[in-house]
Amino acid sequence: MSLVIDVHGHYTTAPAALGAWRDLQIAGLKDQSKAPQASALKISDDDIRETIEANQLKLMKQRGSDLTIFSPRASFMAHHIGDFETSSTWAAICNELCYRVSQLFPEHFIPAAMLPQSPGVDPKTCIPELVKCVEQYGNVGINLNPDPSGGHWTSPPLSDRHWYPIYEKMVEYDIPAMIHVSTSCNACFHTTGAHYLNADTTAFMQCLTSDLFKDFPTLKFLIPHGGGAVPYHWGRFRGLAQELKKPLLQEHLLKNIFFDTCVYHQPGIDLLTTVIPVDNILFASEMIGAVRGVDPETGFNYDDTKRYIEASKILTPRQKHQVYEGNARRVFTRLDATLKKRGQ
């Protein structure tokens, strides 16, 4: 039986206790007496079940997707808040929750980890959390924030050796990273309307100008939100690579870079599937996420991206299967291994 795998879901509907705990943690940065212990957060299995069954799982069943790669809420990562300890405690809590979701609904959710990044802090400090998430929690990928400052872009580009400790571990485990920023605290950038898309474009271009994938031939990046501006400007990027005397993008980047289908209208999906090789496109919806409404032009939710794939006249049925399942299993090899163990 074939599967529909959504490679981009966040736990945006976590119980309110999580947000309340985070508020206290943030208050504790100014007034140490308010700082909560991690153990003060009480979320029961029933709390989790309720938030998942009434939301993501309900919509997955309605829309016909089977399994979601599930990570902590992206906008809540907020790596710019506090220091490494702040992020470390917060990431541990959020990753544990996604792990618990995956244990309660093993057929429907498999976790990907947020990292305890903090601006100006060596990324190698993220390794212990990453190791725990892969080895103990069965995470099949990570979310890597190229801008832990939250819209000030104070870290080096992704091609810089600064990031290599993370890449070394990714390669060792053969896990991909979704390159995903968090909340913008720069008033110029709306978080989901500008910062997310800008980061996607920026990350792609950082890879294009570099030889990162010569150093890490098996490193895999998933660029979310349909690759930001990249597919729409594919001619521009092909031309820029040519000016920079880089190989063709297919050779230079597309063995290592993949795009998801979080593009919320048919013409966008059609463009994506026209210009990007089908091997590099992974089904995703980022549901329940930034855009929750019903499109008055279609009568369906903007983020019901499966409808656009289904309606595609560009993709063959075989290619749709690739987008839904085959590519996800090829890119997320630990997901594939888990599914195979279950006989799927």
Site for a copy of itself, rule CB under 8 A: 146-147, 151-153, 155-157, 186-190, 192-194, 197-198, 201-202, 205-206, 208-209, 225-226, 228-229, 231-240, 242-243, 263-265, 267-268, 270-271, 274-275, 290-293, 295, 297, 302-303
CA 230-141-130 angle, 5° bins: 125
Tokens of 190: 């709306």
- CA terminus-to-terminus distance, the chain: 8
Closest of 274, 269, 338, 335 to residue 306, by C-alpha: 269
Q: How many helices (H) and strands (E) does the chain have?
A: 16, 9
Supply the minimum distance, in Å, between the C-beta of residue 289 and a copy of itself: 10
- Which of 286, 297, 310, 325 is flagged as catalytic? 286
CA 214-278-166 angle, 5° bins: 35
Q: Which residues pair with 221 in a beta bridge?
A: 177, 257
Supply the minimum distance, in Å, between the C-beta of residue 113 and a copy of itself: 23
| 123 DSSP assignment | G
Which of residues 267 and 317 has its CB atom nearest to a copy of itself in the complex? 267
Supply the minimum distance, in Å, between the C-beta of residue 209 and a copy of itself: 6
* DSSP per-residue string spanning 57-102: HHHHHHHT--EEEEEE-HHHH-TTSS-HHHHHHHHHHHHHHHHHHH
Which of residues 128 and 239 has its CB atom nearest to a copy of itself in the complex? 239
Which of residues 7 and 110 has its CB atom nearest to a copy of itself in the complex? 7
Which of residues 141 and 146 has its CB atom nearest to a copy of itself in the complex? 146
Residue 44: which residues within 8 A CB-CB, separation 6 or more?
none
Which of residues 1 and 188 has its CB atom nearest to a copy of itself in the complex? 188
Supply the minimum distance, in Å, between the C-beta of residue 308 and a copy of itself: 9
- Cβ-contact 283, 7 below 8 angstroms: yes
Supply the minimum distance, in Å, between the C-beta of residue 100 and a copy of itself: 29
85 is catalytic: no
- Cβ-contact 301, 293 below 8 angstroms: yes
Which of residues 118 and 198 has its CB atom nearest to a copy of itself in the complex? 198
Supply the minimum distance, in Å, between the C-beta of residue 245 and a copy of itself: 11
At 222, which helix (H) or strand (E)?
Answer: strand 221-223
| Catalytic site positions | 286
